[in-house]
Each structure stands twice: as structure tokens, then as C-alpha cells.
């Protein structure tokens, strides 16, 4: 590996590191433009706000989970199956608004999707919370008055800077890789030409240093006399 390639490796690794650091920490899991974490801990609660505080206090910009489409719901379900260990029902970050007589997300995002069990479509009660069933991904309604929960499911949006910087980082990374490739090829060519010129130089030196007989005036005189004698 040429010295130019070695010199560019730290820069390349640094850029690649930045593109992966979109979530608050490595313990979070990213899906599209959001990060998720399940805080597996037993929490004594008086109301759902105690559970919500587990998320808001854990990381800046975090809140209890909100789910907005089938893909996100499927991602949460799959992550519970493969990574997170939890009981059957996990609180969702929603509350029942008695003024509008409807459920709303705590993070103030729009209620654009639901996964209620068909039998619970119309059962909206004042003191009702929503639960995510970790075995099926179905939502169900239940009493908010629980004494403890086994964990809090949190969500944090990727910040504006981190959401759009990766595209630039990818471009820069591609340029670095291209530059590294060009430098590598150039180094190989230069090395090849150097070795060829070195070999050629040694060959020429061998020819130029071959022993040659030197003639002096005495030798020339003897040759002339011998020629006269023959004649």
C-alpha cells in the first residue's frame, strides 16, 4: 500500500463515522428519519406522565413512541422480536383528549395511522391508554391506572443537521475514495516507471563500463613498423 493511501485512510474513516452517528447514541436504533430505544427497566408510576418522563429525561428531543404508518409499526414489531425483550404490552405515547374525544400523540404529531383491534374501534374512554402488543403489533386499549411498567419505548427524530448532512458526507466520502483510487493507480504507475528506468540504467551502465583496450603512441609506432616490414 502506497504512502498516499495510508495518509488518506484516517480522513476516510472519520467521514464514515460521521455518517453513522445520526442517533443520540449507539444504543438507539434508526429507522428512516427517526431513532428508537426501549428502556428496559421497571418503573413505578402514578400516571402515564411518569413513563413519558423516562423518555424526555433520557435524551434531548426524545418522547414516548408515536407510530404513523404500517412500515414503522412493522419495524417496531420486528425490533421487539429480534432485539428488545419486553412483556406483551408496552405503553404507546398517546392520550385520550376529552375535548376532542379522540386519541392524540404526546409528541404533538398528527394521528395519521392506527392499528387497533377491530373489537376496540369505538371504545374510547376518558381514562384509557393505548398499548402496543409486542407479539402481534396490534394496538389495544387499557386502563391507564397501572402501578408499574416494565419499560418505556422512546422515539427521537433525527435533527435537521444530521438528517441532511449524511448526503454531503456521502458525496465527500465518494470523492475521498475516488481520490484514493487515483492516488493508488498513480503510485503504481510511478513505481513501475521507476523500476523500469532503474533496470534500464543498470543495463546501460554495464555496457558503458565494459573494458576497452587503450592505445598509446608506442603501440602505434610498433604497428607502423610491422606494416613496413611486411610490405
Assess whether pLDDT exceeds 60 at residue 175.
yes
Question: What confidence category does residue 228 fall into, taking pLDDT thresholds of 50, 70 and 90?
Answer: low
Exposure string (b/e) for 199-230, b if CB count within 10 Å is 16 or more? eeeeeeeeeeeeeeeeeeeeeeeeeeeeeeee
Residues 175, 71 share a domain: no
125/176 same-domain check = no
User: How many domains is the chain partitioned into structurally?
Assistant: 2
Q: What is the pLDDT of residue 187?
A: 84
113 occurs within a structural domain: yes
Regarding whether 171 and 153 lie in a shared domain, the answer is no
CA-CA distance, 65 to 42, in Å (whole number)? 18
Task: Based on the fold, state whether residues 152 and 172 are members of the same structural domain.
Answer: no
Q: How confident is the model at residue 101 (pLDDT cuts 50, 70, 90)?
A: confident
pLDDT above 60 for 89: yes
- Would 229 be classed as within a structural domain? no
Both 194 and 178 in a single domain? yes
Cell of 8: 488518506
Least confident of 8-17, 18-27, 152-161, 194-203: 8-17
The domain that holds 101 is classified in CATH as 3.10.100.10
Residue 219 lies in a domain: no
d(CA 39, CA 13): 31
pLDDT grade for 6, boundaries at 50, 70 and 90 = very low
In a domain, 58, yes or no: yes
pLDDT value of position 20? 36
The last residue of a domain, from among 126, 157, 188: 157
| Judgement on whether residues 178 and 105 belong to the same structural domain of the protein | no
215 within a domain of the structure (yes/no) = no
Please check whether residue 184 lies inside any domain of the structure. Answer: yes
Query: What single DSSP character describes residue 106?
Result: T
Residue 91 sits in the same domain as residue 183: no
The reply to whether 98 and 183 lie within a common domain is no
In a domain, 231, yes or no: no
How far is residue 140's CA from residue 88's CA, in Å, rounded to a whole number? 11
Same domain, 147 and 185: no
- For residue 1, tell me if it sits in a domain: no
State the residue range of the domain holding 193: 165-198
User: Residue 48: which residues within 8 A CB-CB, separation 6 or more?
Assistant: 91, 95, 129, 144
Mean pLDDT estimate for the chain? 76
Please give the Cα distance from 12 to 35 (Å, whole number).
Answer: 25
81 and 191 housed in the same domain: no
Are residue 179 and residue 149 in the same domain, yes or no?
Answer: no
Which residue among 157, 190, 210 closes a domain?
157
Residue 196 has pLDDT above 70, yes or no: yes
- pLDDT of res. 12: 41
CA distance 194 to 222: 50
- 131 with 177, same domain: the answer is no
pLDDT score at 69: 96
* Boundary of a domain, candidates 157, 183, 217: 157
Amino acid at each position: 500500500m502506497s504512502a498516499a493511501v495510508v495518509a488518506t485512510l484516517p480522513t476516510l474513516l472519520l467521514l464514515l463515522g460521521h455518517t453513522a452517528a445520526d442517533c443520540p447514541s449507539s444504543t438507539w436504533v434508526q429507522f428512516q428519519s427517526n431513532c428508537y430505544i426501549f428502556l428496559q427497566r421497571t418503573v413505578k408510576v402514578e400516571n402515564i406522565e411518569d413513563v413519558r418522563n423516562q423518555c424526555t429525561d433520557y435524551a434531548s428531543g426524545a418522547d414516548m413512541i408515536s407510530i404513523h404508518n404500517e412500515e414503522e409499526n412493522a419495524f417496531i414489531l420486528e425490533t421487539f422480536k429480534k432485539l428488545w425483550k419486553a412483556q406483551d404490552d408496552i405503553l404507546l405515547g398517546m392520550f385520550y383528549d376529552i375535548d376532542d374525544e379522540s386519541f392524540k400523540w404526546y409528541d404533538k404529531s398528527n394521528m395519521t395511522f392506527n392499528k387497533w383491534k377491530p373489537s376496540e374501534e369505538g371504545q374510547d374512554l376518558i381514562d384509557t391508554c393505548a398499548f402496543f402488543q409486542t407479539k402481534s403489533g396490534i394496538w389495544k386499549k387499557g386502563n391507564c391506572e397501572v402501578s408499574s411498567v416494565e419499560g418505556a419505548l422512546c422515539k427521537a427524530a433525527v435533527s435537521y443537521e444530521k438528517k441532511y448532512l449524511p448526503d454531503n458526507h456521502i458525496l465527500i466520502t465518494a470523492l475521498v475514495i475516488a481520490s484514493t483510487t487515483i492516488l493508488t493507480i498513480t503510485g503504481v504507475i510511478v513505481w513501475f516507471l521507476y523500476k523500469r528506468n532503474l533496470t534500464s540504467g543498470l543495463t546501460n551502465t554495464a555496457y558503458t563500463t565494459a573494458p576497452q583496450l587503450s592505445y598509446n603512441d608506442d603501440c602505434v609506432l610498433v604497428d607502423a613498423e610491422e606494416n613496413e616490414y611486411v610490405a
